[in-house]
Chains A and B, each alone.
Chain A
C-alpha cells in the first residue's frame, strides 16, 4: 500500500469521523427545541448547579437576603437596647437591666458616695442616721461565728445593688417618701440617708439610700416599684466570695497563731522570753481584730443590699418634654444607622473570612480540575 498523499490522508481522516445516530440526533433536537430541560440522569454536581446559575440571578436574592438579615439583626439589637440605653445615664452604669435576675452576672457595685444628688440644702430635710430596722442590727453577729452563714445556698457571697427611679407628681412626693419608709421597715431594711425637696415639677424630688437584707431584696424592690411609676430600675451583683473566703482563712490562721503564742507564753521561762511572746501576741491580736472587721464588712456587704431610690418629678430624663421631636427622630435614626452599620461590620467580619476560604477552595478546586484534565490527555 502506498503512503497516502495529504489530501488523501485528510479525506481518510474525515471518513473516520463518527456521526451521531439518527435517534440520538432527533432526541437532542427535541431537547434543544425545549430549551434543554434538565435530565435526572445527567450528572450535575452541586458545584456545577451553582455555577450554572447566572451571577445576576444569584446576587439579587443574596443581596436581598443580606439586607433582610441586617434589618432583622438591627431591629433585634435596637429593641433589646431600648430598655437599658434610655436609662444609661443612671448613676453608675450598672450592667444588669431592668427586671434582670440579681445573680445574673457580677457587675460594678453601687456606691452611694459617687452619687451627686442636686438637692438644695436649704429646702431639704435630711436624715442621715439609720432609721427603723431594729432587728437588722442583730444580724451583725460575731465574724467568726457568722463566717459560714454569710454565704448563700451555693456558698457564694454576692453583693447586690439596685437603683430605682420613680416618677411622681410634685404633690405626691411626700406621700411616696412615706411609703418608701414603710416599705423599708416592712422588710427590715435600713434607711442610711434620705432627702426630700418640695417644689414644682422638676424641682420636687426625694432620694433614699437604703440597706436591705439581700434575702428580701426582690420583695423590697417589688414594694418600692409599686409606690409610683417606675422610670428605671437597675440591678447589679458583685461576687465577693473570694475575698470573703480569703479573709476567713486568714482569720482562722490568726486564731491558730494566737493559740500557739499562748502556749509559748505558758512555757516561757525567762522574763525577756515572756515579753517577746506577749509583744508578738499583742500584734497578732491586733491583726486578728483587723481581719474580723474586714470579714464583718464583707458579710455585711453580702447580707445587705444597697438600694438607691430616687423620686423624680417632671419629665423623664430620657425624653425632652414628652413630645417626639425632630431631634429625637434624628437621634433615633442615627442610632439605628449606627446599629445597622455595626451589624454589617460584624456580618462582614464573619462572612469575610468565610468568603476568602470559599474563594481559596474554589481556586484550588479549579486548579485541581484543570490539572486532572491535562493529566487525562498526558
Chain B
C-alpha cells in the first residue's frame, strides 16, 4: 500500500505536478513521529510538522525526482525544520521517546512489557544524538535505508552500517539497564 502511494507520488514530480495530497496523507503521522522524537515537545512537534508540510507544499514544484524520492525529500525538509527549531531553542537535541508515549503504557500491557519498554527508552536516551536520529528515522518514521541515506546525505551502505552499530549499542544499553 505504502509502496503504491510512494510510486504514485514519484510519478507526479516527473509529470511536473507532485501529488502532494497523497504524499501528505501517507506520511503525516511518520513525519510527526520523527519530529516529535527530535524535539521531545508535543506542541513544538505539531508546529514544526505543520511548518514542514507547508514548506514542502510551497516547494513542491521545485522537487527534483532525480535527487531522491518524495518521502526522502519530505523528511529532509522536516529534518531541517526540526533542527532549525532546535537551533532557535539553543539546546541540544535529545532523541528519546516522547514522554507522552511512555504515558500511554497501560497496565493491561503487562508489567514486564512496560518495564522492558522503559528500559529501551532509557537505553535510547543514552545513545549519541546521531544514532538516536537514525533509529527514529528507521523505526519511528519507517523509512527504508535508501531513504534514510538520502535524508542524511550519506551512502546507503554507510546507513546500514551505522544503523547496525546503533542497534547493537541500543541492545547493549538495554543489557546494561537489565
The chain A residues found within 8 Å of chain B, CB to CB, are 1-4, 6, 8-10, 12-21, 24-25, 28-29, 31-33, 35-36, 38-39, 42-43, 48, 52, 54-55, 369, 372-373, 376-378
* Among candidates A4, A12, A372, A377, residue contacting B133 with C-beta atoms closer than 8 Å: A377
Q: Is the CB of B87 within 8 A of A36?
A: no
Most A-side CB within 10 Å, residue of B45, B50, B61, B175: B50
Task: Give me 15 other A-B pairs in contact (C-beta within 8 A), A14-B139, A373-B83 excluded.
Answer: A1-B177, A2-B178, A9-B120, A9-B167, A9-B170, A18-B36, A19-B101, A21-B42, A21-B46, A35-B57, A39-B54, A42-B54, A372-B83, A376-B92, A378-B130
Most B-side CB within 10 Å, residue of A1, A10, A48: A1
Q: Mark B110-121, 1 if CB is under 8 A from A, else 0.
A: 001101110111
Bound Cα distance from A367 to B133, whole angstroms:
21
Q: Is the CB of B174 within 8 A of A4?
A: yes
Contacts of B93 in A (CB 8 A): 376-377
Contacts of A54 in B (CB 8 A): 61-62
Contacts of B24 in A (CB 8 A): 32
The stretch from B4-12, B27-35, B65-73, B143-151 touching chain A is B27-35
Q: Is the CB of A3 within 8 A of B83?
A: no
The chain B residues found within 8 Å of chain A, CB to CB, are 20-21, 24-25, 28-29, 32-33, 36-37, 42, 45-47, 49-51, 53-55, 57-59, 61-62, 80, 83-84, 86-88, 92-93, 97-98, 100-102, 112-113, 115-117, 119-121, 124, 129-130, 133, 135, 139-140, 167, 170-171, 174-175, 177-178
Return B35 CB to nearest CB of chain A, in Å.
9
**10 closest Cβ contacts across the A-B interface?**
A16-B97, A18-B36, A373-B83, A18-B98, A52-B58, A13-B139, A36-B57, A20-B32, A377-B129, A36-B54
Q: Is the CB of B116 within 8 A of A32?
A: no
Q: Is the CB of B129 within 8 A of A17?
A: no
* Among candidates A18, A28, A55, residue contacting B101 with C-beta atoms closer than 8 Å: A18
Bound Cα distance from A190 to B175, whole angstroms:
117
Q: Is the CB of A12 within 8 A of B29?
A: no
Contacts of B101 in A (CB 8 A): 15-19
Main secondary structure of the interface of A (DSSP, over half): helix
Contacts of A38 in B (CB 8 A): 54
Q: Is the CB of A12 within 8 A of B54?
A: no
Q: Is the CB of A18 within 8 A of B37?
A: yes
Q: Is the CB of B50 within 8 A of A3?
A: no
Return A11 CB to nearest CB of chain B, in Å.
9
Contacts of A39 in B (CB 8 A): 50, 54
Contacts of B121 in A (CB 8 A): 16
Contacts of A372 in B (CB 8 A): 83, 87
Return A366 CB to nearest CB of chain B, in Å.
11
Pull 6 A–B residue pairs with CB atoms less than 8 Å apart, ordered by A.
Answer: A3-B171, A4-B116, A12-B113, A19-B32, A54-B61, A376-B92
Q: Is the CB of B120 within 8 A of A4?
A: yes
Contacts of B46 in A (CB 8 A): 20-21, 24
Q: Is the CB of B61 within 8 A of A13?
A: no
Q: Is the CB of B140 within 8 A of A28?
A: no
Q: Is the CB of A13 within 8 A of B120?
A: yes
- Smallest Cβ-Cβ distance to B89: which chain A residue: A376
* Among candidates A13, A21, A29, A378, residue contacting B135 with C-beta atoms closer than 8 Å: A13
- Smallest Cβ-Cβ distance to A373: which chain B residue: B83
- Smallest Cβ-Cβ distance to B56: which chain A residue: A36
Contacts of A376 in B (CB 8 A): 83, 86-87, 92-93
* Among candidates B33, B54, B97, B139, residue contacting A10 with C-beta atoms closer than 8 Å: B139
- Smallest Cβ-Cβ distance to B135: which chain A residue: A13
Contacts of A25 in B (CB 8 A): 28-29
Bound Cα distance from A69 to B80, whole angstroms:
38
Given contacts A4-B171, A9-B171, A21-B46, contact A28 B53 (CB under 8 A): yes
Given contacts A9-B120, A18-B32, A31-B50, contact A377 B140 (CB under 8 A): no
Q: Is the CB of B58 within 8 A of A36?
A: yes
Contacts of A20 in B (CB 8 A): 28-29, 32, 46, 49
